Amino acid sequence: MSFNNLQLIEPVLKALSHEGYTNPTPIQEKSIPVILNKRDLLGCAQTGTGKTAAFVIPILQMMHQQTTSLQRQHRSRTLILTPTRELAIQIGESIRAYGRYLNLKHQVIFGGVSQYNQVQGIRQGADILVATPGRLLDLMQQRIVSLNEIQFFVLDEADRMLDMGFVHDVKRIIARLPVKKQTLFFSATMPAEIQQLAGILLNDPVKVQVSPVSSTVDTVQQLLYFVEKQNKQSLLVHLLNDKTIETVLVFTQMKHSADRLAKNLNKAGIRSEAIHGNKTQNVRQAALANFKNKKTRVLVATDIAARGIDIDELKYVVNYELPNIPETYVHRIGRTGRAGANGTAISFCDWSEKIFLKDIQKLIRKDIPAIKGHPFDITSMHTPVHSATVGRGSTSGTRSVGRNKRYGKTFWQKAI
């Protein structure tokens, strides 16, 4: 089945084509017709199955097809509630991508930063609000946000809301929503409290369930490097000293990180290009062509931009930043080791990412072996003796990497 079979309007199909998508995932195929039919939906699916597009695409279409004063004024008609800042940002990027040819505005709302820019965006008009519970409640209490005109409500990652202690906040928000609305409820698991919440929220819902992606291909060798955040770039350059690595796909979480890393790798003499949601389709296709033709050695990509990448002979993938969603890790490393070929997936992990690593290893049901004793090993880099050994008297491990070829080569060859 293709997206053309799902009764989607031309501007949405054009946006999907721009992103390089032709076929829906199982949850998209099952959910989009239900949502377009204006039914409540109970989706049992994890992030990584394509569920964001499953609800964003039909909501954008239905909002576009409405001709009301609310639409002309860009008054908020959709609320998407999600537990974390990272997920909120990712959903916002999806709305921007799939709605690029529609006259709809959105605003992402989350805490931990100044509310000024978010408030300005709301006051300028936002058809869609993507929010974490705490900041949304703050803005509601300040009377900056009103939910009186919400027609579409999405509760995403409901079980994670429970795990993070947000259910009370979620219930306070739900109490302020109009009774008449279309509700889409997504949860990877259905503990008793989540079932109760779904029962309160949903009106005769259609249940859609898909199996999570949780297994990694045996032909992919997975390796882990513990490294401090500020040394990740130097470690990547160090590994790329091995000229047998002809091409490597490197994943970052954010668009600006991809641009910065590609720029710095080029300065280091390593031909690199970045692709992400802010790049035009022509630019992305040209970068991908250069990568396939081996004119570009390193392609740095965000997860959204990488969805259309299909390279049969890709041997190396590097998770420069670990994804906060464990299923994303499985999708990333699945870019290599295709059609029975061998591949290597290397992950960098700093202290702040250890919680992500724990979730990933729980999902794939195995521990990823760590490479010990590399020049930037987080467990030993602060030991003065180690610094002296690696750097031949220098206290800077970073400056000595290029000189100590025997040391670096030994550990890289062990890794591959």
43: left (phi over 0), alpha (psi -120 to 50) or beta: beta
Residues 140 and 230 in one domain: no
Distance, in Å, from the CA atom of 10 to the CA atom of 183, rounded to the nearest integer, reads 25
Q: Sort strands 343-349 and 220-226 into parallel, antiparallel or unpaired.
A: parallel
214, part of any domain: no
> pTM higher than 0.75 for the full model?
no
pLDDT in tens, 232-262: 999 999 999 999 999 999 999 988 999 999 9
Domain assignment present for 115: yes
Domain boundary among 209, 237, 266: 209
Q: Give yes or no: residues 343 and 306 share one domain.
A: yes
Q: Output the CA angle 197-201-204, nearest 5 degrees.
A: 115
Q: Do 160 and 305 reside in the same domain of the chain?
A: no
Instruction: Note whether 181 and 236 are same-domain residues.
Output: no
- pLDDT for position 72: 72
Range of the domain at 68: 3-209
CA dist 244 and 254 (Å) reads 28
- 199 & 233 share domain: no
Closest CA to 250 of 238, 263, 236: 236
Q: Would you state the structure tokens that stand for residue 338, as one six-digit string? A: 């295709």
The total domain count for the chain is 2
Please name which of 241, 290, 293, 230 lies closest in space to residue 270, comparing C-alpha atoms: 241
Give the Cα separation of 53 and 94 in Å (integer). 7
Residues 357 and 254 in one domain: yes
In this structure, the answer to whether residues 77 and 135 fall within a common structural domain is yes
Largest CA distance in the chain: 72
Domain shared by 190 and 251, yes or no: no
Residues of the chain falling short of pLDDT 50 = 380-416
* Domain harbouring 153, CATH code: 3.40.50.300
CA 371 to chain centre: 26
Same domain, 52 and 124: yes
Q: Is position 215 within any domain? A: no
Last residue within a domain, chosen from 209, 232, 255: 209
Same-domain check for residues 226 and 170 = no
Q: Which of 177, 209, 241 is the last residue of a domain?
A: 209
**Is the same domain home to 143 and 273?**
no
Domain-located, residue 343: yes
102: which 2 tokens? 């529609």
Q: Do both 77 and 205 map to the same domain?
A: yes
Q: What is the pLDDT of residues 119-176, one digit of tens each?
A: 999 999 999 999 999 999 999 999 999 999 999 999 999 988 887 889 999 999 999 9
